[in-house]
Chains A and B, each alone.
Chain A
Amino acid sequence: MNAVSPEIPMPSRPVSASRYPVAVWPWPIALGLLTIFGLLSALLGQQGIWLALSWAALSIPLIVTVICLIRAWRRPSSKGGLS
């Protein structure tokens, strides 16, 4: 379920950009809102443009996932993410 046991303090490392806190929630919230929009637009709209918007909105989380995976595997470093 996860690697770092909560009670073990983080080992001290040389300070690098990724050691500073980053905004955790913007990306998950954006992807969540897109998902909700995609689910509802096809359900409520049910016509041409709303269907297309639904497909687009629901593909974005998948596309973002694939991009992150490709980045990580192309350039094996801890900075493989989007920020």
Chain B
Amino acid sequence: MTTRALRRWFVVHKWTSLVCTLFLLIVCVTGLPLLFSEQIWDTFVGDDDPPYEVLPPGTPNASLDVIVDKARALYPGQIITSVNPDDDEPAVLVSMAPSWQALKDDENYPDRHSGHWIKFDARTAKVLEQSRPADAPKEPRTWTGIIMGICNRLHTSLFAYLPGRLFLGAMGGVFVASLVSGTVLYGRFMKRLPFGSVRRDRASRLTWLDLHNLLGAATLVWATVVGFTGLVNELQTPLFGLWRVTDVRQILKPYANLPVPAQDHLSSVQAAFDTAAKAAPGNEVTGLSFPGASFGSPVHYVLWTRGNTPLRARLFTPVLVDARTGELTGAYPMPWYLRFLEISRPLHFGDYGGMPLKILWALLDVVVIGVLVSGLVLWAGKRRIATDARLRALGYELDDPDDAAVPVLTAGDAR
């Protein structure tokens, strides 16, 4: 490699790293509690669900139609918006609202929540729990809730909603560029050093450089994968938007102008679940939303199904069932870019291999923090060398380059 090319790679590495390091430190640190959020919630807040009735194993689930009727009887005159069987517990969540219009109006009033939910036991169809009424005093926020909320919003959007997400996505891209350029530099600087050397008998800069190289080389692939999948995750809003204005709009076009039928004339919910399960073989049905939902069809049940293997568990296939007749309209596998998004999620979250994988994820994350910090130390040290040289040129006597007072002076005055 020529010196010029090397210098160019060095500049790329320096600037890409400088641009993304602060944000990566934020993301790495806030990612740690998020990794264990389930355990943290269970430990500090606990499960406030009432205990489930103990029934003989193999007790069949109640028909969803029975559950839907019970929900309607509890709130006559209201509409049901969705029906979602729980993933791990024998429960069914039914969401309701006074009307679709009321839900739409909520968007203009941030403190109005007209939607509410009822949780049923999936086997006995008994009411287990209900959401707090809108006029009830607000539940006091727990410290766990506040801290986890802050971590979550910092990690995904820096409290800046969509622009924050896109910005962090861009930082993910810059991070990958810094990893690539760092790898090139690694090849150059390790030419005469056996792998894993940490020189401690010379300048402390060399110790930091060797640490940076060792930690970076050990986590290079993991950091690339998590950085890149993080970037893909941040693009989810525009990608789903793209799907909605292309395929979804095309599919719903023939129905777009039909009126939403009254809910007491709709076909069976349980039958719609069964139809969807048949339409997407190998998938399980995870939920149904009623006709009229904001991004559905006015006359269809939209059923969300997903694969039942870990790789496909995040690949959702929506199924449309005509709510007037109960007939299948079709199953619509997602386009490739959304499939790619869904597959890249587990590789970012590290939640697909049990607790040991999460712990490894956390340890690798800590090592990456080490790479970031050692990189910062190297950069700061280099800056000080440069400013020291300038000060000497100006005639200052700098006897002890390690004197803590010098950098303080130089930081303010030399530039």
Contacts and interface: CB of A to CB of B under 8 A. Distances in A.
Interface size class of B (residues with CB under 8 A): 35 or more
Best-surrounded residue of B189, B225, B311, B353 (most CB of chain A within 10 A): B353
A81 B197 contact: yes
Given A28-B217, A64-B218, A69 B198 contact: yes
B384 to A, nearest CB: 13
State the majority secondary structure of interface residues on A: helix
Nearest to B185: A2
B363 to A, nearest CB: 5
Nearest to A36: B221
A21 B188 CA distance: 11
Contacts of B161: none
Interface stretch (B47-55, B203-211, B232-240, B289-297): B203-211
B225 A65 contact: no
Interface in B331-346: 346
B192 A64 contact: no
A3 to B, nearest CB: 4
A3 B209 contact: yes
A59 to B, nearest CB: 6
Contacts of A20: 192
B14 to A, nearest CB: 5
Contacts of A12: none
B197 A79 contact: yes
Interface of B: 3, 6-7, 10, 13-14, 17, 183, 185-203, 205-206, 208-210, 212, 214-215, 217-222, 225, 309-311, 346-347, 352-354, 356-357, 360, 363-364, 367, 375, 378-379, 381-382
Interface of A: 1-4, 6-7, 18-22, 24-28, 31-32, 35-36, 38-39, 42-44, 46, 51, 54-55, 58-59, 61-62, 64-65, 67-69, 71-73, 76-83
23 contacts: A1-B185, A1-B382, A2-B378, A3-B203, A3-B206, A3-B208, A3-B381, A21-B191, A22-B192, A24-B190, A25-B187, A28-B220, A35-B225, A43-B347, A43-B352, A46-B310, A54-B357, A55-B356, A55-B360, A58-B357, A68-B197, A81-B195, A83-B195
